[in-house]
């Protein structure tokens, strides 16, 4: 008995084999051109030069007392015994926007939360902060863009300013604060939370985590030196740590965007983010709202406790698997106090170096 002739479909299958399974080539992560961090760098230097121009040490003191007055003239530094960091006088920093508790609380000059982070006590302080800014900030802006890093820098700086001002209310009575260290520690804190929330996409995880913890620990240890305020460092670091979970999330390893899948292929895709990333996001938003609200209300309510009563209510609503809302309400019980409006507006959405008449603190 002879063999049956091959079926036509078998002949076509042998002649035209099925196409191989598709390979998906994800594009390389986008690298942004860093311009915001260099702009902040230039702005800080320009503002420091302007502060030295406004300081005009020879106009208030003998030229022989001012440092380098023979070469710098109007831009000469205050005497070393007054400012060992080679910078302006306290009066100049106060006029230009340094953070001082009496001006912020009594005169409602809340804008000092932000202006103080662009002022520096001296050349030494300025150079230390600016080199750190370039070393940390440029890399983050390349990876995440200017919008997220800009928000992170300002909000972390605000957290550092807030905690430092609360600490000042309990320690020093005549101290001003300037500097960008709180915002810089916010960037460090965000680097740590970014590593934790994006754990699945990193290689050499333990080595990266150990190196980052050593850097953070050494920088925090500097805060225990004389004339260094660690409350700004801690406040900025904690704010940046929580903000990193919110602003610096990346898609998990193996996630494929639908637009990169060829038409006609039904591929089971991973979710964009892992469950623990959503958990960190929600908890961080709650902690940020509660921390900012508590700090602002505590700052003002201690000044006039009868005028402001704080009532915060948090309600969590899950409207979709990937969309959440945190609602925080403030209610006024009696009296009129501008601090209420400041605290209320802070929920919808500065860092400092204190220099006092009798003490000099750097951050």
pLDDT tens digits, one per residue of 9-18: 555 555 556 6
pLDDT score at 139: 92
The answer to whether residue 73 sits within a structural domain is yes
Cα(41)–Cα(118) distance, rounded to whole angstroms? 10
Residue in the structure block whose two tokens are 């320009």: 46
The answer to whether residue 240 sits within a structural domain is yes
The answer to whether residue 23 sits within a structural domain is no
181 is catalytic: yes
The answer to whether residue 322 sits within a structural domain is no
Read off the pLDDT band of 153 (50, 70, 90): very high
- Give me the catalytic one of 181, 231, 284, 350: 181
Read off the pLDDT band of 45 (50, 70, 90): very high
Cα(347)–Cα(265) distance, rounded to whole angstroms? 46
Read off the pLDDT band of 310 (50, 70, 90): very low
Q: Quick one: three-class SS letters along the chain?
A: CCCCCCCHHHHHHHHCCCCCCCCCCCCCCCCCCCCHHHHHHHHHHHHHHHHHHHHCHHHHCCCCCCECHHHHHHHCECCCCCCCCCCCCHHHHHHHCCEEHHHHHCCCCCCHHHHHHHCCCCHHHHHHHHHHHHHHHHHHHHHHCHHHHHHHHHHHHHHHHHHHHHHHHHHCCCEEECCCHHHHHHHHHHHHHHHHHCHHHCCCHHHHHHHHHHHHHHHHHHCCCCCECHHHHHHHHHHHHHHHHHHCCCCCCCCCCHHHCCCCCCCCCCCCCCHHHHHHHHHHHHHHHHHHHHHHHHHHHCCCCCCCCCCCEEEEEEEECCEEEEEEECCCCCCCCHHHHHHHHHHHCCCCCEEECCCECEC
- Give me the catalytic one of 233, 284, 350, 363: 233
Going by DSSP bridges, is the β-strand pair 354-356/323-329 parallel, antiparallel, or unpaired? unpaired
**Percentage of the chain lying above the pLDDT 90 cut:** 42
Mean per-residue pLDDT, 195-218: 82
**177-187: per-residue pLDDT in tens?**
889 999 999 99
Read off the pLDDT band of 311 (50, 70, 90): very low
Q: Going edge to edge, which strands form the sheet with 175-177?
A: 99-100, 175-177, 354-356
The answer to whether residue 331 sits within a structural domain is no
The lowest-confidence range among 141-145, 166-170, 334-338 is 334-338
Higher pLDDT, 210 or 29: 210
Cα(235)–Cα(351) distance, rounded to whole angstroms? 9
pLDDT score at 4: 59
Quote the number of domains for the chain.
1
The answer to whether residue 292 sits within a structural domain is yes
The answer to whether residue 335 sits within a structural domain is no
Read off the pLDDT band of 259 (50, 70, 90): low
Higher pLDDT, 261 or 326: 261
Read off the pLDDT band of 207 (50, 70, 90): confident
Write out the residue range of the structural domain in which residue 284 sits.
32-255+268-306+343-356
pLDDT for 277 beyond 70: yes
Read off the pLDDT band of 195 (50, 70, 90): very high
- Give the domain CATH number at 283: 1.20.1540.10
Read off the pLDDT band of 350 (50, 70, 90): very low
The answer to whether residue 329 sits within a structural domain is no
25 is catalytic: no
């Amino acid at each position: 008995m002879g063999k049956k002739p091959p079926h036509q479909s078998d002949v076509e299958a042998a002649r035209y084999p099925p196409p191989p399974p598709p390979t998906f080539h994800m594009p390389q992560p986008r690298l942004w051109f860093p311009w915001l961090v260099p702009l902040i760098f230039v702005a800080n230097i320009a503002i420091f030069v302007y502060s030295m121009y406004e300081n005009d040490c020879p106009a208030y003191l003998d030229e022989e007392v001012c440092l380098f007055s023979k070469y710098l003239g109007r831009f000469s530094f205050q005497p070393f015994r007054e400012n060992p960091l080679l910078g302006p006088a306290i009066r100049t920093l106060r006029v230009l926007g340094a953070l001082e508790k009496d001006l912020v609380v009594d005169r409602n000059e809340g804008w000092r939360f932000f202006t103080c982070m662009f002022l520096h006590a001296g050349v030494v302080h300025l150079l230390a902060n600016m080199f750190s800014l370039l070393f940390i900030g440029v890399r983050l802006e390349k990876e995440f863009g200017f919008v997220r890093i800009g928000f992170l820098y300002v909000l972390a700086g605000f957290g550092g300013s807030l905690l430092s001002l609360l600490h000042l209310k309990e320690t020093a009575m005549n101290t001003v604060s300037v500097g960008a260290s709180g915002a810089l520690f916010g960037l460090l804190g965000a680097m740590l939370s970014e590593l934790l929330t994006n754990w699945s996409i990193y290689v050499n995880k333990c080595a990266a985590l150990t190196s980052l913890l050593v850097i953070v620990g050494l920088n925090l240890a500097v805060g225990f030196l004389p004339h260094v305020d660690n409350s700004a460092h801690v406040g900025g670091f904690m704010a940046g740590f929580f903000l990193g979970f919110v602003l610096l999330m990346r898609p998990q390893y193996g996630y494929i965007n639908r637009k990169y899948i060829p038409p006609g292929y039904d591929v089971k895709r991973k979710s964009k983010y892992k469950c623990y990333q959503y958990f960190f996001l929600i908890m961080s938003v709650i902690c940020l709202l509660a921390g900012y609200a508590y700090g602002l209300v505590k700052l003002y309510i201690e000044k006039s406790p009868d005028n402001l009563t704080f009532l915060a209510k948090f309600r969590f609503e899950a409207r979709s698997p990937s969309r959440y809302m945190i609602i925080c309400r403030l209610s006024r019980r009696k009296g009129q106090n501008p601090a209420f409006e400041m605290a209320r507006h802070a929920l919808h959405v500065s860092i400092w170096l204190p220099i006092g008449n009798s003490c000099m603190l750097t951050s």
